[in-house]
Structure 1
Amino acid sequence: MSVIERKQRSSNRTGATAFALALLTGVLGSGCGDDGTSNPAGQSGGAGQGGGGGGQDGGDAFIVATRVWDDTATNSYFHVLPSIEPGTEVDPSQALEIPGSARLFAFGGLGWFGIGEAEAPTISRYTLDGSNKLVKGDSISFQPFGVQSLWPTNYIISSTKVYHPDRAGEQIVVWNPTTMEVEGTIPLPDTHREGYLALYAYGSVLRGKTLLISVGWFDWKTTDTILPETGLIAIDTETDTVVRFDVDDRCGGITQPVETASGDAYFVSSALAGAAYHLDRLESEPCALRILKDADAFDPDFHLLLSELSDGAIMGDPIPAGGDGLFLRVFEPDLATIEEETKTSGVTSQPAWHWWRWDTATNEAAAIGELAPSPANVSFFEVDGRVFTIDEGSGSTESTLIELTAEGGPKLGLKTPGYLHGLAKVR
């Protein structure tokens, strides 16, 4: 089994955005899924800001989640570290080891973090003891509600209410991280498209009491195609009911929103959508939609083709860049090997994607010269207002954090063995 195939079996990706986006950090990227279908659900996913969690009063504490696999097994490691700066020691023998592709859940500002199991839809809360060791607490199972496996996404509503999107089950599970109880589900039958997975976004946007979640439709099992439309679910977070479901046929393959300093939220096509368009498996050109800061629906007057920003090149995969900026990935066909049977995930997993920054206020975009081309299937994390991604070593045997928003340009940080798929500050 190849590294890419192993990732598709063992990882997924997360996205994070504005208020209350819970980042269940997992491999995000164009090509990885944790639902057991080997689908490249990937979008740059984010995770990151945890809180409290007990343990010693002094000093920072970060949890770094890594994953190591070979042709026979996958193991996950959860490291408690005092720093994520270069030179910090990462010793797997001191980490919490869990078989399979377990994933980190950390809810910014709530003082809550946990670990999701690899083989069952079960989440366990963890805290730190006086020696900064991870201590397992109460667990919650979504299995009685029809959930087969966990995805790396949660939408935080409050300290007592979190939404977990069950994409395969076309529903949202409403659960309480304080009491560790499931309080109900929100059926989403209107999101069904025969033969396609309804991929509820890796992030959400809150407008008053209304939570907005985009939907993209992907088929990785048979045709490797993406539908040329984007759904928008509007949920009343007080009654936990769907109040509206819109479909916009101007743009497809969206999996990640980014809310900028202006308050506007941008919904931008994924790198997977760009790959599908390049392979003639998506009819609509990669593009961006917008929801204005005081609105709860897509702006009918805003539809931007990403090629207008990149001189015609394929572009996608939005990552928050601070202020009114977004990081995007731009595809360089000359750096990729594409054959007739190449999958969309086979395009995004090649080191053929440049880093660009788009200023939504001026509508200008430019390449980031400090970063070499890399796969588009990397994770991103938000910690203390900073945005990080990773430089994935050959064969995913090593990862290096890159602080994208560092002053003066991207800066290298912590180096870890294995694939770094989760990061949260818990103290």
Structure 2
Amino acid sequence: MRAIQQKQRPPRGTSATTGALLLLVGALVSAGCADEEQTARPGPVGEEAFVVATRVWDDTATNSYFHVVPSLEQGTVVDPSQAMEIPGSARLFAFADQGWFGVGDGESPTISHYTLDARDALVKGDAISLQPFGVQSLWQTNYLVSPTKAYHPDRAGEQLVVWNPTTMEVQGTIPLPDTSREGYLALYGYASIQRGKTLLFSVGWFDWTANDTILPETGLVAIDTETDTVVRFDVDDRCGGITESVEMASGDAYFVSSALAGAAHHLERLETEPCALRVLKDADSFDPDYVVRLGDLTDGAIAGDPIPAGRDSLFLRALDEDLTTVGDETKSFEITGQKAWRWWRWDTATGEATLVAELAPSPANVSWFDVDGRIFTIDEKTDSIESTLIELTAEGGPKLGLTTPGYLHGVTKVR
């Protein structure tokens, strides 16, 4: 499983308070509804199994639900009465390549390992608390180094917490004082890139609470994963507001501005235009000769928030100003929450980008997931009462998947 984006709110990792309407495939959603719902139940050991995480909230409480299902296809039954319920905004953590998954508690910085029993029920195993290490709340992000090492980015504490998913032990922390910027959250990237024993992740600096501004620079942290020390910290002033990196089939990694950065630039609260930097497959620093202004790809439209599209391609979201409402007090995250962002596919190998006409305009910060090499997003109903998976990279074009009550914020294959 990879990545969580937000709907009508600041970047991933913040709590959800409002819902947004996401209609990615327009008529496809209504036309694709099955006349008869097929009943699908978790099957015997040996068949596929997936964990789907959802969240339901109202004015008084938030509850999270973890469902075990045999398929992600349309018509699969998702029964809340059969789900594991956890109070608060719990998170699904998974290292699919290692066959490991767990849950981040919704009300404390605790990570618990889970497995499936013979009846495909979720079984809680060992747990670790990050509270003794200064962590106040969990983010969705973990950087996996090996079966015995992962880093949890504690953005508020400006540190990495080193922990072992196999033994479920915390091994220490890596302070990151150089990433501090007064008045700004150091938003460590939602993904990391490994170059041998060196792990790389970006840093963007966001203030969406006081002044709704973003610093016009991007940091790149290099960690020696053998000694758990900072090798280097670079700052690049060509591009700001980067939160995501995507590694291509070529091995090159692209660090691309968030749509939030695009919105801030549109509101004149970020100096640099939305853009992309690159780390070549054999390198561990930004390519000094490479920067792409995303507007040059999208006919001048503000763009950002990359999603893998297969091989050497990325999906981008580009703002259609004709669909956008902006007032004097509009916040950047209120722009990313509007159904005004069109989908583009950027082939980084050829440098060409094309509009994806079969996808209707949507909010920019929608959830997306990488499940066994298949890329999904969601169609989310008003007030998050229901979510439907959409497989973006399906053969023949976007395809509807299962529907869940509430806001679908995590998916992973567990068998």
Q: Taking structure 2 as the reference length, what is the TM-score of the superposition? A: 0.91
Alignment-derived partner of residue 242 in structure 2: 254
Per-residue displacement from partner, 1:90-146 (whole Å, max 9, x unpaired)? 111111111111110011211111110112100111111111111111110000000
1:238 to 204, 226, 229: 226
5 Å-filtered alignment, 1:9-408, equals 23=2, 27=6, 31-32=10-11, 34=13, 56-408=44-396
The residue type paired with residue 311 of structure 1 is D
- Give the stretch that moved more between structures: 25-34 or 259-268: 25-34
| Contact 1:35/1:168, CA 8 A, preserved across alignment | no
In structure 2, what is the Cα distance between the partners aligned to 1:77 and 1:31? Answer: 23
> Cα–Cα, structure 1 residues 293 and 250, in superposed 2: closer, same or farther, change >3 Å?
same
> Cα–Cα, structure 1 residues 203 and 315, in superposed 2: closer, same or farther, change >3 Å?
same
User: Aligned Cα RMSD in Å?
Assistant: 1.7
> Cα–Cα, structure 1 residues 181 and 23, in superposed 2: closer, same or farther, change >3 Å?
farther
Secondary structure of the corresponding residue to residue 345 of structure 1: helix
In structure 2, what is the Cα distance between the partners aligned to 1:356 and 1:25? Answer: 19
The residue type paired with residue 254 of structure 1 is I
| Contact 2:87/2:107, CA 8 A, preserved across alignment | no
In structure 2, what is the Cα distance between the partners aligned to 1:69 and 1:335? Answer: 29
The residue type paired with residue 10 of structure 2 is G
Q: Identity across aligned pairs (percent)?
A: 73
> Cα–Cα, structure 1 residues 344 and 390, in superposed 2: closer, same or farther, change >3 Å?
same
Secondary structure of the corresponding residue to residue 109 of structure 1: helix
- Give the stretch that moved more between structures: 336-345 or 314-323: 336-345
In structure 2, what is the Cα distance between the partners aligned to 1:184 and 1:92? Answer: 38
> Cα–Cα, structure 1 residues 81 and 418, in superposed 2: closer, same or farther, change >3 Å?
same
> Cα–Cα, structure 1 residues 151 and 367, in superposed 2: closer, same or farther, change >3 Å?
same
| Contact 2:12/2:140, CA 8 A, preserved across alignment | no
| Contact 1:30/1:271, CA 8 A, preserved across alignment | no
- The aligned length equals 391
- Deviation (angstroms), 1:57: 2.5
Segments of 4+ moved more than 3 angstroms = 22-30, 32-38
Q: Taking structure 1 as the reference length, what is the TM-score of the superposition? A: 0.89
| Contact 2:5/2:11, CA 8 A, preserved across alignment | no
The residue type paired with residue 262 of structure 2 is G
Secondary structure of the corresponding residue to residue 238 of structure 1: coil
> Cα–Cα, structure 1 residues 28 and 264, in superposed 2: closer, same or farther, change >3 Å?
farther
The residue type paired with residue 120 of structure 2 is N
In structure 2, what is the Cα distance between the partners aligned to 1:343 and 1:118? Answer: 27
In structure 2, what is the Cα distance between the partners aligned to 1:227 and 1:265? Answer: 22
The residue type paired with residue 308 of structure 1 is D
Per-residue displacement from partner, 1:184-204 (whole Å, max 9, x unpaired)? 100000000000000000001
Alignment-derived partner of residue 48 in structure 1: none
| Contact 2:305/2:365, CA 8 A, preserved across alignment | no
The residue type paired with residue 317 of structure 1 is D
**Runs (5+) with no aligned partner, structure 1:** 1-21, 39-54
| Contact 1:26/1:104, CA 8 A, preserved across alignment | no
- Deviation (angstroms), 1:25: 5.0
> Cα–Cα, structure 1 residues 85 and 385, in superposed 2: closer, same or farther, change >3 Å?
same
In structure 2, what is the Cα distance between the partners aligned to 1:30 and 1:332? Answer: 19
In structure 1, what is the Cα distance between the partners aligned to 2:336 and 2:108? Answer: 28
- Deviation (angstroms), 1:404: 0.7
In structure 1, what is the Cα distance between the partners aligned to 2:404 and 2:253? Answer: 33
**Runs (5+) with no aligned partner, structure 2:** 18-42
Secondary structure of the corresponding residue to residue 98 of structure 2: coil
> Cα–Cα, structure 1 residues 156 and 368, in superposed 2: closer, same or farther, change >3 Å?
same
The residue type paired with residue 223 of structure 2 is I
The residue type paired with residue 213 of structure 2 is T
- Deviation (angstroms), 1:32: 4.8
In structure 2, what is the Cα distance between the partners aligned to 1:346 and 1:404? Answer: 25
- Deviation (angstroms), 1:370: 1.1
In structure 2, what is the Cα distance between the partners aligned to 1:319 and 1:26? Answer: 10
Secondary structure of the corresponding residue to residue 327 of structure 2: coil
In structure 1, what is the Cα distance between the partners aligned to 2:15 and 2:388? Answer: 27
The residue type paired with residue 58 of structure 2 is D
The residue type paired with residue 299 of structure 2 is D
The residue type paired with residue 368 of structure 1 is V
Secondary structure of the corresponding residue to residue 272 of structure 1: helix
- Deviation (angstroms), 1:64: 0.5
- Deviation (angstroms), 1:348: 0.5
